[in-house]
Amino acid sequence: MPAGAPLTHFVIDTSRNGKGVWQPPEGKYADPQIWCNPPGRGVGRRPTTDTGSELADAFLWLRPRA
């Protein structure tokens, strides 16, 4: 990047809390696939434009189009 070039602004997807794949306990749930947000998983930080960063324009909950 050339000296003096403007830095790129960005947004951050906080729609998941980053705790990874859920492994249901053996025999506890009749159909563990029905979980939309399994225990300990779910959304991350709430959407906001108050990011505390000059370049991060927003924290958003993003979802791919189905």
The answer as to whether 36 is a domain residue is: no
Its domain, for residue 54, covers 10-16+42-66
The answer as to whether 23 is a domain residue is: no
pLDDT digits (tens, 9 = 90+) for 16-64: 777 777 778 888 877 777 566 677 777 788 999 999 999 999 999 887 7
The answer as to whether 48 is a domain residue is: yes
**Structural domains of the chain, count:** 1
How many alpha carbons fall within 13 Å on the CB side of residue 56?
A: 13
Neighbours of 59 (CB within 10 A): 20
Separation between Cα atoms, residue 50 and residue 8, nearest integer Å? 17
The answer as to whether 61 is a domain residue is: yes
Give the global pTM. Answer: 0.60
Predicted pLDDT at 49: 97
Predicted pLDDT at 11: 95
In contact, 62 and 15? CB cutoff 8 Å? yes
Give CA torsion, residues 8, 11, 17, 22, to 10 deg. -90
Predicted pLDDT at 59: 95
Who has greater pLDDT, 30 or 8? 8
Separation between Cα atoms, residue 39 and residue 22, nearest integer Å? 8
The answer as to whether 55 is a domain residue is: yes
Predicted pLDDT at 36: 65
